[in-house]
Structure 1
Protein backbone atom coordinates (compact mmCIF):
# COMPACT_ATOMS: atom_id res chain seq x y z
CA UNK A 1 0.00 0.00 0.00
CA UNK A 2 2.81 2.41 0.89
CA UNK A 3 4.47 1.67 -2.46
CA UNK A 4 1.22 2.42 -4.35
CA UNK A 5 0.89 5.77 -2.57
CA UNK A 6 4.50 6.63 -3.44
CA UNK A 7 3.97 5.72 -7.10
CA UNK A 8 0.77 7.79 -7.27
CA UNK A 9 2.56 10.77 -5.67
CA UNK A 10 5.38 10.52 -8.22
CA UNK A 11 2.92 10.38 -11.13
CA UNK A 12 1.02 13.42 -9.84
CA UNK A 13 4.26 15.34 -9.24
CA UNK A 14 5.46 14.59 -12.78
CA UNK A 15 2.13 15.65 -14.30
CA UNK A 16 1.89 18.86 -12.32
CA UNK A 17 5.60 19.58 -12.53
CA UNK A 18 5.60 19.04 -16.28
CA UNK A 19 2.68 21.43 -16.70
CA UNK A 20 4.33 24.00 -14.51
CA UNK A 21 7.40 24.01 -16.75
CA UNK A 22 5.25 24.39 -19.86
CA UNK A 23 3.29 27.22 -18.25
CA UNK A 24 6.40 29.04 -17.06
CA UNK A 25 7.86 28.98 -20.59
CA UNK A 26 5.30 31.57 -21.76
CA UNK A 27 6.81 34.23 -19.47
CA UNK A 28 3.75 35.35 -17.52
CA UNK A 29 4.26 38.40 -15.28
CA UNK A 30 2.09 37.13 -12.42
CA UNK A 31 2.50 33.74 -10.70
CA UNK A 32 0.24 30.84 -11.62
CA UNK A 33 -3.19 31.03 -9.93
CA UNK A 34 -4.76 27.78 -8.76
CA UNK A 35 -8.31 28.34 -7.50
CA UNK A 36 -10.79 25.83 -6.09
CA UNK A 37 -14.30 26.76 -7.19
CA UNK A 38 -17.20 27.30 -4.84
CA UNK A 39 -20.63 25.86 -5.60
CA UNK A 40 -23.00 27.97 -7.64
CA UNK A 41 -26.55 27.59 -8.81
CA UNK A 42 -25.95 29.94 -11.73
CA UNK A 43 -25.08 28.07 -14.90
CA UNK A 44 -23.49 29.05 -18.18
CA UNK A 45 -22.06 32.41 -19.14
CA UNK A 46 -21.31 34.70 -22.06
CA UNK A 47 -18.66 32.49 -23.63
CA UNK A 48 -18.89 28.72 -23.17
CA UNK A 49 -17.08 25.65 -24.41
CA UNK A 50 -17.72 21.97 -23.85
CA UNK A 51 -15.58 18.88 -23.81
CA UNK A 52 -17.01 15.69 -25.26
CA UNK A 53 -15.47 12.26 -24.86
CA UNK A 54 -16.26 8.76 -26.06
CA UNK A 55 -17.43 6.53 -23.23
CA UNK A 56 -17.38 2.81 -24.06
CA UNK A 57 -20.86 1.32 -24.55
CA UNK A 58 -22.44 4.79 -24.26
CA UNK A 59 -20.96 6.90 -27.06
CA UNK A 60 -20.13 10.60 -27.02
CA UNK A 61 -21.12 12.47 -23.87
CA UNK A 62 -20.38 15.94 -22.53
CA UNK A 63 -17.85 15.41 -19.74
CA UNK A 64 -17.15 19.06 -18.90
CA UNK A 65 -18.42 22.56 -19.61
CA UNK A 66 -16.72 25.87 -18.88
CA UNK A 67 -18.01 29.43 -19.26
CA UNK A 68 -16.73 33.00 -18.82
CA UNK A 69 -18.77 36.14 -18.12
CA UNK A 70 -16.97 39.45 -18.71
CA UNK A 71 -19.20 41.42 -16.31
CA UNK A 72 -17.60 40.46 -13.00
CA UNK A 73 -14.88 38.31 -14.62
CA UNK A 74 -16.60 35.12 -13.47
CA UNK A 75 -15.68 31.56 -14.46
CA UNK A 76 -18.22 28.76 -14.20
CA UNK A 77 -17.23 25.14 -14.67
CA UNK A 78 -19.40 22.01 -14.64
CA UNK A 79 -18.35 18.43 -14.10
CA UNK A 80 -20.56 16.61 -16.58
CA UNK A 81 -19.56 13.01 -15.92
CA UNK A 82 -19.32 11.19 -12.57
CA UNK A 83 -16.36 8.89 -13.09
CA UNK A 84 -13.87 10.39 -10.63
CA UNK A 85 -12.05 12.82 -12.92
CA UNK A 86 -11.81 16.50 -11.99
CA UNK A 87 -13.05 19.28 -14.27
CA UNK A 88 -11.09 22.50 -14.53
CA UNK A 89 -10.64 25.56 -16.70
CA UNK A 90 -7.17 26.65 -17.77
CA UNK A 91 -7.21 30.37 -18.62
CA UNK A 92 -4.76 33.01 -19.83
CA UNK A 93 -4.97 36.82 -19.67
CA UNK A 94 -2.78 38.85 -22.04
CA UNK A 95 -2.30 42.64 -22.05
CA UNK A 96 -1.35 45.11 -24.79
CA UNK A 97 1.92 46.92 -23.99
CA UNK A 98 1.70 49.49 -26.79
CA UNK A 99 3.38 47.38 -29.46
CA UNK A 100 2.50 43.72 -28.78
CA UNK A 101 0.38 41.40 -26.64
CA UNK A 102 2.16 40.15 -23.51
CA UNK A 103 1.25 37.20 -21.24
CA UNK A 104 0.18 38.64 -17.88
CA UNK A 105 -1.83 36.15 -15.75
CA UNK A 106 -2.82 32.50 -16.02
CA UNK A 107 -4.36 29.83 -13.87
CA UNK A 108 -6.90 27.13 -13.17
CA UNK A 109 -10.43 27.18 -11.85
CA UNK A 110 -10.90 23.66 -10.41
CA UNK A 111 -14.28 22.03 -9.82
CA UNK A 112 -13.94 19.46 -7.02
CA UNK A 113 -17.70 19.35 -6.45
CA UNK A 114 -18.44 16.30 -8.60
CA UNK A 115 -21.05 15.80 -11.32
CA UNK A 116 -23.38 17.48 -12.18
CA UNK A 117 -22.48 20.47 -9.99
CA UNK A 118 -21.38 23.86 -11.25
CA UNK A 119 -18.48 25.66 -9.57
CA UNK A 120 -17.47 29.31 -9.84
CA UNK A 121 -14.25 31.30 -9.55
CA UNK A 122 -14.42 35.08 -9.40
CA UNK A 123 -11.43 36.96 -10.83
CA UNK A 124 -10.60 40.61 -11.48
CA UNK A 125 -8.94 41.28 -14.86
CA UNK A 126 -8.04 44.56 -16.51
CA UNK A 127 -10.73 45.87 -18.85
CA UNK A 128 -9.71 46.56 -22.46
CA UNK A 129 -10.96 50.14 -22.22
CA UNK A 130 -8.90 51.08 -19.13
CA UNK A 131 -5.17 51.56 -18.61
CA UNK A 132 -3.51 48.24 -17.77
CA UNK A 133 -0.27 47.17 -16.06
CA UNK A 134 1.71 48.58 -19.03
CA UNK A 135 -0.20 51.91 -19.01
CA UNK A 136 -1.89 51.02 -22.30
CA UNK A 137 -5.38 49.80 -23.16
CA UNK A 138 -6.07 46.19 -24.12
CA UNK A 139 -6.91 42.99 -22.24
CA UNK A 140 -7.82 39.64 -23.77
CA UNK A 141 -8.57 36.21 -22.34
CA UNK A 142 -8.66 32.68 -23.70
CA UNK A 143 -9.52 29.41 -22.00
CA UNK A 144 -10.12 25.72 -22.38
CA UNK A 145 -12.13 23.29 -20.31
CA UNK A 146 -10.31 20.13 -19.28
CA UNK A 147 -10.55 16.86 -17.38
CA UNK A 148 -7.86 15.75 -14.96
CA UNK A 149 -7.44 12.05 -14.33
CA UNK A 150 -4.97 10.31 -12.02
CA UNK A 151 -2.55 9.55 -14.86
CA UNK A 152 -3.28 12.24 -17.46
CA UNK A 153 -5.07 15.47 -18.36
CA UNK A 154 -7.43 15.70 -21.30
CA UNK A 155 -5.75 18.92 -22.42
CA UNK A 156 -2.52 20.75 -21.82
CA UNK A 157 -1.42 24.39 -21.84
CA UNK A 158 0.03 24.02 -25.34
CA UNK A 159 -3.37 23.22 -26.82
CA UNK A 160 -4.88 26.51 -25.63
CA UNK A 161 -3.41 28.18 -28.70
CA UNK A 162 -6.47 26.90 -30.59
CA UNK A 163 -8.89 28.71 -28.23
CA UNK A 164 -10.51 31.94 -29.45
CA UNK A 165 -9.60 35.23 -27.79
CA UNK A 166 -12.19 37.16 -25.77
CA UNK A 167 -11.90 40.95 -25.62
CA UNK A 168 -12.30 41.66 -21.91
CA UNK A 169 -14.44 44.75 -22.01
CA UNK A 170 -17.79 45.11 -20.31
Structure 2
Protein backbone atom coordinates (compact mmCIF):
# COMPACT_ATOMS: atom_id res chain seq x y z
CA UNK A 1 0.00 0.00 0.00
CA UNK A 2 2.86 2.37 0.83
CA UNK A 3 4.47 1.66 -2.54
CA UNK A 4 1.18 2.36 -4.37
CA UNK A 5 0.74 5.68 -2.55
CA UNK A 6 4.33 6.65 -3.35
CA UNK A 7 3.76 5.89 -7.05
CA UNK A 8 0.55 7.93 -7.06
CA UNK A 9 2.29 10.85 -5.38
CA UNK A 10 5.12 10.69 -7.92
CA UNK A 11 2.65 10.64 -10.84
CA UNK A 12 0.70 13.61 -9.47
CA UNK A 13 3.90 15.54 -8.72
CA UNK A 14 5.22 14.87 -12.23
CA UNK A 15 1.96 16.05 -13.79
CA UNK A 16 2.03 19.19 -11.63
CA UNK A 17 5.61 19.98 -12.66
CA UNK A 18 4.73 19.64 -16.32
CA UNK A 19 1.59 21.72 -15.89
CA UNK A 20 3.79 24.57 -14.67
CA UNK A 21 6.27 24.10 -17.53
CA UNK A 22 8.99 22.43 -15.50
CA UNK A 23 10.45 19.56 -17.51
CA UNK A 24 11.55 16.34 -15.81
CA UNK A 25 15.24 15.46 -15.90
CA UNK A 26 14.67 12.60 -18.35
CA UNK A 27 12.40 12.89 -21.37
CA UNK A 28 10.04 10.02 -22.11
CA UNK A 29 7.10 9.24 -24.35
CA UNK A 30 4.82 8.99 -21.33
CA UNK A 31 1.25 9.63 -22.47
CA UNK A 32 -0.10 9.60 -18.92
CA UNK A 33 0.82 13.26 -18.55
CA UNK A 34 -1.99 15.49 -19.72
CA UNK A 35 -0.84 17.23 -22.90
CA UNK A 36 -2.65 19.36 -25.46
CA UNK A 37 -4.21 17.33 -28.28
CA UNK A 38 -4.09 18.75 -31.79
CA UNK A 39 -7.38 18.50 -33.64
CA UNK A 40 -7.29 17.60 -37.34
CA UNK A 41 -8.82 20.95 -38.27
CA UNK A 42 -9.35 23.21 -35.33
CA UNK A 43 -7.97 24.50 -32.07
CA UNK A 44 -5.62 22.65 -29.76
CA UNK A 45 -7.61 20.94 -27.02
CA UNK A 46 -6.17 20.71 -23.50
CA UNK A 47 -6.74 17.32 -21.88
CA UNK A 48 -9.01 17.68 -18.83
CA UNK A 49 -7.71 15.60 -15.87
CA UNK A 50 -10.23 14.25 -13.35
CA UNK A 51 -9.94 11.92 -10.37
CA UNK A 52 -12.93 9.59 -10.19
CA UNK A 53 -15.21 9.82 -7.16
CA UNK A 54 -16.31 6.57 -5.55
CA UNK A 55 -19.54 5.08 -6.88
CA UNK A 56 -21.37 1.87 -7.48
CA UNK A 57 -21.28 0.07 -10.83
CA UNK A 58 -22.97 1.62 -13.87
CA UNK A 59 -26.57 0.85 -14.68
CA UNK A 60 -27.98 -0.86 -17.75
CA UNK A 61 -28.35 2.52 -19.47
CA UNK A 62 -24.54 2.70 -19.88
CA UNK A 63 -22.33 1.66 -22.79
CA UNK A 64 -19.32 -0.28 -21.46
CA UNK A 65 -15.97 -1.61 -22.64
CA UNK A 66 -13.61 -3.98 -20.87
CA UNK A 67 -9.88 -4.64 -20.76
CA UNK A 68 -7.94 -7.09 -18.59
CA UNK A 69 -6.96 -4.29 -16.21
CA UNK A 70 -10.05 -2.05 -16.19
CA UNK A 71 -13.64 -1.47 -17.24
CA UNK A 72 -15.04 1.79 -18.57
CA UNK A 73 -18.56 2.99 -19.29
CA UNK A 74 -20.46 6.08 -20.41
CA UNK A 75 -23.98 6.97 -19.30
CA UNK A 76 -25.57 9.63 -21.54
CA UNK A 77 -28.10 10.71 -18.93
CA UNK A 78 -25.92 12.96 -16.76
CA UNK A 79 -22.86 12.61 -19.05
CA UNK A 80 -21.06 10.31 -16.60
CA UNK A 81 -17.96 8.20 -17.24
CA UNK A 82 -17.39 5.15 -15.04
CA UNK A 83 -14.01 3.50 -14.59
CA UNK A 84 -13.19 0.39 -12.57
CA UNK A 85 -9.75 -0.80 -11.51
CA UNK A 86 -9.89 -4.56 -12.21
CA UNK A 87 -6.43 -5.47 -10.90
CA UNK A 88 -5.00 -5.20 -7.41
CA UNK A 89 -1.58 -3.86 -8.41
CA UNK A 90 0.36 -0.62 -8.15
CA UNK A 91 -1.11 0.90 -11.33
CA UNK A 92 -4.23 3.05 -11.30
CA UNK A 93 -6.06 2.92 -14.64
CA UNK A 94 -7.76 5.79 -16.40
CA UNK A 95 -10.43 6.23 -19.03
CA UNK A 96 -9.20 8.52 -21.82
CA UNK A 97 -12.09 10.18 -23.66
CA UNK A 98 -12.60 12.51 -26.62
CA UNK A 99 -15.61 14.62 -27.63
CA UNK A 100 -16.23 15.90 -31.15
CA UNK A 101 -18.79 18.42 -32.38
CA UNK A 102 -20.20 18.64 -35.89
CA UNK A 103 -19.90 22.11 -37.37
CA UNK A 104 -22.39 23.91 -39.60
CA UNK A 105 -20.56 22.54 -42.67
CA UNK A 106 -21.08 18.94 -41.44
CA UNK A 107 -17.44 18.19 -40.54
CA UNK A 108 -16.48 16.80 -37.11
CA UNK A 109 -13.87 18.60 -34.97
CA UNK A 110 -12.29 17.58 -31.69
CA UNK A 111 -13.84 19.84 -29.05
CA UNK A 112 -12.81 18.35 -25.69
CA UNK A 113 -10.65 15.51 -24.35
CA UNK A 114 -9.90 14.19 -20.89
CA UNK A 115 -8.77 11.47 -18.56
CA UNK A 116 -10.81 10.01 -15.71
CA UNK A 117 -8.34 8.43 -13.23
CA UNK A 118 -9.44 5.67 -10.83
CA UNK A 119 -7.25 5.96 -7.73
CA UNK A 120 -9.75 4.03 -5.61
CA UNK A 121 -8.05 0.59 -5.69
CA UNK A 122 -9.47 -2.61 -7.18
CA UNK A 123 -12.29 -3.56 -7.55
CA UNK A 124 -13.89 -0.18 -6.88
CA UNK A 125 -15.85 1.83 -9.44
CA UNK A 126 -15.42 5.58 -9.77
CA UNK A 127 -17.21 8.26 -11.78
CA UNK A 128 -16.27 11.47 -13.54
CA UNK A 129 -19.28 13.69 -14.09
CA UNK A 130 -18.96 15.77 -17.28
CA UNK A 131 -21.28 18.08 -19.19
CA UNK A 132 -21.35 17.61 -22.97
CA UNK A 133 -23.50 19.10 -25.70
CA UNK A 134 -26.37 16.79 -26.55
CA UNK A 135 -26.41 15.40 -30.10
CA UNK A 136 -29.69 17.21 -30.84
CA UNK A 137 -28.55 20.65 -29.58
CA UNK A 138 -28.28 23.33 -32.25
CA UNK A 139 -25.42 25.59 -31.16
CA UNK A 140 -25.05 29.32 -31.82
CA UNK A 141 -22.66 28.62 -34.74
CA UNK A 142 -25.41 26.57 -36.44
CA UNK A 143 -23.65 23.27 -35.84
CA UNK A 144 -25.49 20.27 -34.46
CA UNK A 145 -24.08 16.96 -33.25
CA UNK A 146 -21.95 15.67 -30.40
CA UNK A 147 -20.13 12.34 -30.26
CA UNK A 148 -17.78 10.60 -27.82
CA UNK A 149 -15.27 7.77 -27.74
CA UNK A 150 -12.92 6.40 -25.09
CA UNK A 151 -10.18 3.92 -24.35
CA UNK A 152 -8.92 2.32 -21.16
CA UNK A 153 -5.28 2.89 -20.18
CA UNK A 154 -2.84 1.82 -17.51
CA UNK A 155 0.12 4.12 -16.84
CA UNK A 156 3.69 3.09 -17.56
CA UNK A 157 6.52 4.03 -15.21
CA UNK A 158 8.73 4.67 -18.26
CA UNK A 159 7.64 4.88 -21.88
CA UNK A 160 4.15 4.86 -23.30
CA UNK A 161 1.03 3.92 -21.38
CA UNK A 162 -0.74 0.71 -22.34
CA UNK A 163 -4.19 1.42 -23.76
CA UNK A 164 -7.03 -0.56 -25.25
CA UNK A 165 -8.33 0.31 -28.70
CA UNK A 166 -10.64 3.31 -28.96
CA UNK A 167 -14.33 2.56 -28.91
CA UNK A 168 -16.29 3.64 -31.95
CA UNK A 169 -17.81 7.10 -31.87
CA UNK A 170 -21.21 7.19 -30.16
CA UNK A 171 -23.71 10.03 -30.42
CA UNK A 172 -24.48 11.73 -27.13
CA UNK A 173 -28.20 10.97 -27.27
CA UNK A 174 -30.37 10.71 -24.18
- Using the size of structure 1 for normalisation, the TM-score is 0.75
Higher helix share: 1
Tell whether 2:94 aligns with 1:88.
Answer: yes
**Aligned partners of 2:83 and 2:26: how far apart in 1?**
25
**C-alpha RMSD of the superposition:** 2.7
**Aligned partners of 2:129 and 2:26: how far apart in 1?**
30
- Cα drift, residue 11 of structure 1: 5.7
Point out 4+ residue stretches in structure 1 off by more than 2 angstroms.
8-14, 16-21, 23-31, 42-45, 132-135
Match of 1:20 in 2: 35
Q: How does 1:1-170 map to 2 (within 5 A)?
A: 10=25, 14-16=29-31, 20=35, 23-24=37-38, 26=40, 27-28=42-43, 30-43=45-58, 46-52=62-68, 63-99=69-105, 100-132=107-139, 134-151=141-158, 152-155=160-163, 160=166, 163-170=167-174
| Matched residue count | 149
- Cα drift, residue 47 of structure 1: 0.8
**Aligned partners of 1:33 and 1:120: how far apart in 2?**
14
Tell me the SS of whatever aligns to 2:30.
helix
CA shift digits 1:4-30 (9 cap, x unpaired): x8xx95468751488726x23655554
Segments of structure 2 that go 5 or more residues without pairing to the other structure are 1-9, 15-23
Tell me the SS of whatever aligns to 2:163.
coil
**Aligned partners of 2:33 and 2:116: how far apart in 1?**
19
- Cα drift, residue 128 of structure 1: 0.8
Tell me the SS of whatever aligns to 1:86.
coil
- Using the size of structure 2 for normalisation, the TM-score is 0.74
Higher strand share: 1
**Aligned partners of 1:17 and 1:36: how far apart in 2?**
13
Change (3 A) 1:29 1:14: closer
